[in-house]
């Protein structure tokens, strides 16, 4: 008797903990920010509640029968139960009910899935490139691109074309509720409307190497008018010629922010510097190859700071970011084209 009381208490604790484990995520979802979120949240909650119900019914029967048919004091160990050969009605019931349930869940899931994968004509297109370990977003409509940020207009149909340059990554913004792998050699896409203006975290949710946990970017959903203003600003920044670049004023700060942690007094990737004046003095740290004054496109320094390239020898810099913005990359390019002087 005492043992069954202990079992009963343990069972109640078990049910409460299970309930807490299931209910906590349901009631603590992040705010939703895409047109698919409500449907997906409903499906998630519906399935979770259904799972809890099944769990309670099954465990309820288990407990009831365990207590009801327990061996009582004075009862012989060898007492045999009555010989039962099935119960057709019961067996049909416990087959049909779960089958109906699975069919309902399947139909609901297919409906949501079809909504998610449906592409829409006239959608605003963003080409997203994932590479170890950074994100780049390109806007064909404005011919601009950004590195480790991604901007998009709210309340407009969006198509994200995803590609990966090295291994599989996965595009995930938890508030959007949808997720899509970026696979090398196999273009994938996401279709949605971002419904809430704000700043979000774009996370890589597929293990992709030693920098995976740091592979995230800021994603901005903007009011459509603000987005257009932003895009035009970027356009003028990228097409407008960068004026005279000063090494001391403009370039040195970029190097300090992005490169110094590893390459000053370090010995990484063949580029080991006492200070950046060494780099400016002649570019001979990796003999003849760091940069070619007057020609940024022929300079390794420029190649390795491009998002998504693995130059040289698969450099992915700097590990964990913050990576260089387009404006910073353009500034370095202009500085090289202007002769890479220590001015």
**Piece in contact with ligand CUA (CB under 6 A), picked from 28-36, 74-82, 202-210, 271-279:** 202-210
Per CB under 6 A, which region of 75-83, 205-213, 258-266, 318-326 contacts ligand CUA? 205-213
Task: Tell me if 303 contacts ligand CUA by CB under 6 A.
Answer: no
Q: Which is nearer to ligand CUA, 206 or 330 (CB)?
A: 206
Rounded Cα gap, residues 283 and 183, in angstroms: 37
Among 151, 169, 177, 258, binds ligand CUA (CB under 6 A): 169
| DSSP type of residue 209 | S
Question: Which among 1-9, 70-78, 82-90, 201-209 is the span making contact with ligand CUA, rule CB under 6 A?
Answer: 201-209
DSSP secondary structure code for residue 251 in this structure: I
Judge whether 140 and 327 are in contact, CB under 8 Å.
no
Do 328 and 306 touch, CB atoms closer than 8 A? no
Site for ligand CUA contains 191 (CB under 6 A): no
- How far is the first Cα of the chain from the last one, in angstroms, to the nearest whole number? 90
Q: How far is the CB of 114 from ligand CUA (least distance, A)?
A: 28
- For residues 200 and 175, is the Cβ–Cβ distance under 8 A? yes
Distance of alpha carbon 218 from alpha carbon 223, whole angstroms: 16
Q: Which stretch binds ligand CUA (CB under 6 A): 45-53, 107-115, 204-212, 291-299?
A: 204-212
Provide, rounded to whole angstroms, the least separation between the CB of residue 147 and ligand CUA.
15
| CA distances from residue 52 to 18, 60, 95, 170, 197 in whole angstroms, order as listed | 8, 12, 19, 30, 35
Q: Kindly write out the interface string for residues 208-237 of this chain, putting x where it contacts ligand CUA by CB under 6 A and - elsewhere.
A: x---x--x----------------------
Identity of the residue, 133 or 227, whose beta carbon is nearer to ligand CUA in the bound complex: 133
Cα dist. 186→190, 242, 331 in Å?
14, 37, 34
Which one, 137 or 154, has the nearer CB to ligand CUA? 137
DSSP-derived secondary structure letter, 164: E
Instruction: Kindly state whether residue 330 participates in binding ligand CUA, applying the rule CB under 6 A.
Output: no
Residues 93 to 132 in contact with ligand CUA, rule: CB under 6 A: 130
**Is residue 146 part of the contact set for ligand CUA (CB under 6 A)?**
no
User: Does residue 202 bind ligand CUA (CB under 6 A)?
Assistant: no
Residue 150 contacts ligand CUA per CB under 6 A: no
Query: Cβ of 126: how many Cβ atoms within 10 Å?
Result: 22
Taking a C-beta distance cutoff of 8 angstroms, is the pair 128, 161 a contact? yes
Site string for ligand CUA, 60-79 (x = CB under 6 A): --------------------
Residue written as tokens 């895009």? 231
Neighbours of 100 (CB within 10 A): 10
179 makes contact with ligand CUA (CB under 6 A): no
Angle 174-126-320 (CA atoms, 0-180°, nearest 5)? Answer: 55
Of 177, 225, 147, nearest to 139 by C-alpha is: 147
Question: Among residues 193 and 204, whose Cβ is nearest to ligand CUA?
Answer: 204
Choosing from 154, 204, 280, 301, the residue that interacts with ligand CUA (CB under 6 A) is 204
Residue 203 parent element (H or E): strand 198-204
**Site string (125-144) toward ligand CUA, x via CB under 6 A:** -----x--x-----------
Q: Which residues bind ligand CUA (CB under 6 A)?
A: 130, 133, 169, 204, 206-208, 212, 215
């Amino acid at each position: 008797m005492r043992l069954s009381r202990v079992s009963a208490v343990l069972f109640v604790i078990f049910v409460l903990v299970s309930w807490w484990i299931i209910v906590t995520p349901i009631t603590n979802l992040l705010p939703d920010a895409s047109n698919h979120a409500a449907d997906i949240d409903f499906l998630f909650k519906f399935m979770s509640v259904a799972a809890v119900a099944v769990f309670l019914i099954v465990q309820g029967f288990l407990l009831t029968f365990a207590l009801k048919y327990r061996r009582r004091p004075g009862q012989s160990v060898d007492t045999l139960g009555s010989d039962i050969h099935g119960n057709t009605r019961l067996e049909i019931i416990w087959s049909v009910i779960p089958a109906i349930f699975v069919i309902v869940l399947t139909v609901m899931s297919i409906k949501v899935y079809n909504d998610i994968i449906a592409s829409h004509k006239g959608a605003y297109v963003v080409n997203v490139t994932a590479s170890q370990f950074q994100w780049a977003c390109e806007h064909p409509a404005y011919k601009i691109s950004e590195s480790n940020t991604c901007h998009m207009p709210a309340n407009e149909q969006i198509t994200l074309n995803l590609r990966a340059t090295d291994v599989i990554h996965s595009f995930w913004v938890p508030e959007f509720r949808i997720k899509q792998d970026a696979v090398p050699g196999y273009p994938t896409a996401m279709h949605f409307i971002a419904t809430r203006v704000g700043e979000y975290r774009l996370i890589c949710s597929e293990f992709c190497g030693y920098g995976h946990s740091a592979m995230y970017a800021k994603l901005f959903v903007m009011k459509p008018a603000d987005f257009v203003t932003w895009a035009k600003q970027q356009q003028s920044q990228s097409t407008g010629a960068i004026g005279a670049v000063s090494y001391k004023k403009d370039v040195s700060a970029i190097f300090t922010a992005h490169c110094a942690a590893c390459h000053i007094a370090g010995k990484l990737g063949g580029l080991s510097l006492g200070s950046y004046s060494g780099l400016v003095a002649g570019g001979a740290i990796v003999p003849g190859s760091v940069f070619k004054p007057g020609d940024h496109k022929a300079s390794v320094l420029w190649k390795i700071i491009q998002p998504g390239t693995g130059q040289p020898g698969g450099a992915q810099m700097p590990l964990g970011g913050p990576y260089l913005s387009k404006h910073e990359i353009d500034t370095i390019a202009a500085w090289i084209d202007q002769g890479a002087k220590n001015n």
